[in-house]
Chain A
Amino acid sequence: MCVKLIYKIIIILFIGMGSLPLAANSLSASYNPYVYAAGYDSSDPQTSFFLQSGNAASVQYIFTLSDTSFDIYTGLGYSQLFDTRVTGLEFAKGFTSIFFDAGLTYHFSYNFSLSGFMRMHNSQYTNTKTFFAHIEAGISPNITFVSDSEGKSLHETVNLTFPLTVDMRKDLSYAFSFGVGLAIKLQLMQDDNARLNDGIVTLEDSAL
């Protein structure tokens, strides 16, 4: 019963995420290389923990909430984790993923924001026809390096991101990853009712 309810909630969220682009007022593309630490139940102590590396890229629609310092976003992404040898006889398998993600960003200042996100992955182990699902949740401090937002209807910003995630895989006892990456945000539509793209809501913004 509980599982069915969770299933329904995920499907509703999934549909909701899909409709968000209709209301979005910016688009971002991001890339981040990362290191993935994982462990599985094993009789061999030396293989109970291992490190892998990977890359992730995603495109996100961002919806700026009026009169607040919050953005919500949703997007699609692709990630690849590479094989890593863990013993003389074993590799930790790599896999490729297609994922949907959704998240919330709070802007502390012009330069700094913090995002919390959840990703639903559909993954396939490298060189096999085996698929699995998993959910990843994480936080990501973001530092804005470049922005040319002053008064333009189309502008771009470049953020440096440091995502730290927990990957809830059922075939592993635990897994987490950390990385660094670039998020290149292109503001395609200007919403005059939103804040002036400086990350801080002011009376001036509200007046607009």
Chain B
Amino acid sequence: MKTYFRILILTVIFAILSTSCDLFHTTDTTRGNSYALIYGVANYIGSINDLTYTYNDAEDMEYFFKGHNFTTTIAQYDNEATKSTIKADLSSIREIAGENDLTVFFFAGHGSGPDIGDGQVFLIPYYTTYTIPSSEIFSDSELLEELKTISGKKLLILDICFAGGFVPDNGVDVDGLPGDYGYTGDPSVFFQTWDKYLTEDSNTEYPDIWVIGSAGKNESAREDDENDDTDGNVENGYYTYYLLKSLGYNHDDYSISKTIPADSNADNLITVSEIYNETFNQFEQNYNDQFLSDYAKYYSHTSGGPKDLILLDLSP
């Protein structure tokens, strides 16, 4: 009996020690500057492609990041948010960003699906002619390459249709959600993971870019309908609304709570995975399950890989 007891005590002690990793190494927690580039396009040229609340989405994001004292927050709306303006903003950040800096890029507006071009998806900024010129939109790879050349870590948040197409495939991970949930439902990932393990190589083309996309590669993202009082009346794109809510932001009074629902482990470090998970759960419970049939449901996607990005460090 004594021997059992000794072993039990030794094991418990080791378990406690091993869960406290700070005992094994010290971490350099230096963070540099934080930059936010925010774009919202509701009023496209003409009126047929106009949206309603993407302006609100960007405005709320602007308030949020300014409220968290980001070093620089650039926000452009409607006809200010053209491709050339966005590229100029990216260049200005590129000139000042360092290795320990964080750049957040947010866009709310239209996206275009993989049926255009070579399986690529597109972000549609404000454009200047009635037919959308390819020179005035960003393909997924074009935008990722733009971000890649900025030093430090980058987070791309997109509330657009087909946003999942911007999440880079790192070669070895399997997304547990399909690009078109309404058509295919939950996929079986077991054999997919082994197939990738045995046949694919790891792709580390964008190791310093994390992406959160509001919808799958073949799915449309939705916004509140101003003429429908029964759909939640969130006055935002649904994904942006729940993402900001998971970060403690309240659209109704533009306030930022000190309690962050996304901080699931209460360590005051808000990571992309935590944000993704909390937003996913809120979106599922309050929108997908409430207002959409299985056929119409859509799901957010985020980057795989062994690293997670800390968006906010709220340590006292």
Contacts and interface: CB of A to CB of B under 8 A. Distances in A.
Interface of A: 3, 6-7, 10, 31, 33-35, 38, 40-44, 46-47, 50-55, 82-93, 122, 124-135, 145-146, 158, 160, 169-172, 179-182
Contacts of A128: 273, 276-277, 302, 304
Given A46-B28, A51-B25, A90-B308, A127 B274 contact: yes
B310 A171 contact: no
B232 interface: no
From B207, B208, B273, residue with most partner A Cβ within 10 Å: B273
B25 A130 contact: no
B196 interface: yes
Nearest to B16: A33
B72 interface: no
Interface string B9-44: 001001100111100110111111000000000000
B29 A170 contact: no
B7 A158 contact: yes
14 contacts: A44-B99, A53-B20, A87-B27, A89-B102, A89-B153, A91-B307, A93-B273, A128-B273, A128-B277, A128-B304, A158-B7, A171-B173, A179-B18, A182-B7
Given A133-B196, A171-B172, A171-B306, A88 B28 contact: yes
B73 interface: no
Contacts of B307: 40, 47, 86, 90-93
Interface string B195-218: 111111110100110000000000
A85 B269 contact: yes
Nearest to B302: A128
B171 interface: yes
Contacts of B198: 3, 6-7
A86 B192 CA distance: 30
Given A33-B11, A51-B24, A82-B21, A124 B310 contact: no
Contact of A130 (B28, B175, B194, B199): B175
A86 B310 CA distance: 10
Given A89-B153, A158-B4, A170 B306 contact: no
Contacts of B313: 88
Nearest to A129: B176
Contacts of A145: 3, 7
A72 to B, nearest CB: 23
A169 B182 CA distance: 32
B99 A132 contact: no
Interface residues of B, number: 66
Contacts of B185: none
Contacts of A131: 173-174, 176, 189, 192-193
Given A127-B273, A128-B273, A170-B172, 16 more contacts: A7-B195, A33-B14, A35-B24, A41-B204, A41-B207, A42-B207, A51-B24, A86-B307, A88-B100, A91-B307, A93-B308, A122-B189, A126-B273, A129-B177, A133-B194, A179-B18
A10 B273 CA distance: 32
B172 A132 contact: yes
B98 to A, nearest CB: 11
B54 to A, nearest CB: 26
Nearest to B12: A33
Contacts of A182: 7, 11
B175 A84 contact: no
Given A86-B27, A87-B29, A31 B308 contact: no
In the A-B complex, the 6 residue pairs with the closest CB atoms: A129-B176, A88-B31, A133-B193, A127-B277, A127-B273, A133-B197
